[in-house]
Amino acid sequence: MTRYWVFRQNETIGPLEAEEVVRLPGFQSQWPVCPEGGGQERWETASKFPELSALITDAAAVKRGRVMAIDDDPSVRRVL
């Protein structure tokens, strides 16, 4: 799994797992991040990395309350 460096408030943080990146307080998809070992040319906004983008989308769905929960019975689904 890829780990990332995050540039936030004039400080470089990391390396962090993708899940840790999106859980940083005040995280925003436009924060600059770089994959570990990527070098200076790999810095991009978090939303440009597929692994982070998927987590950003999932986190946004949770905030909007649109998360599907699967009951023990596979035929039963409900929206939380």
CA distance 57 to 74: 24
Exposed / middle / buried, residue 57 (Cβ in 10 Å: 0-12, 13-18, 19+)? exposed
Q: List beta partners, residue 4.
A: 16, 35
What does the pLDDT read at residue 39?
A: 84
Predicted TM-score (pTM) of this structure:
0.69
- pLDDT tens for 45-70 read 999 999 998 888 755 444 545 445 55
Which residue range forms the structural domain that includes residue 68?
3-79
What does the pLDDT read at residue 71?
A: 54
Counting the structural domains of the chain, the total is 1
What does the pLDDT read at residue 42?
A: 92
More confident of the two residues 23 and 59: 23
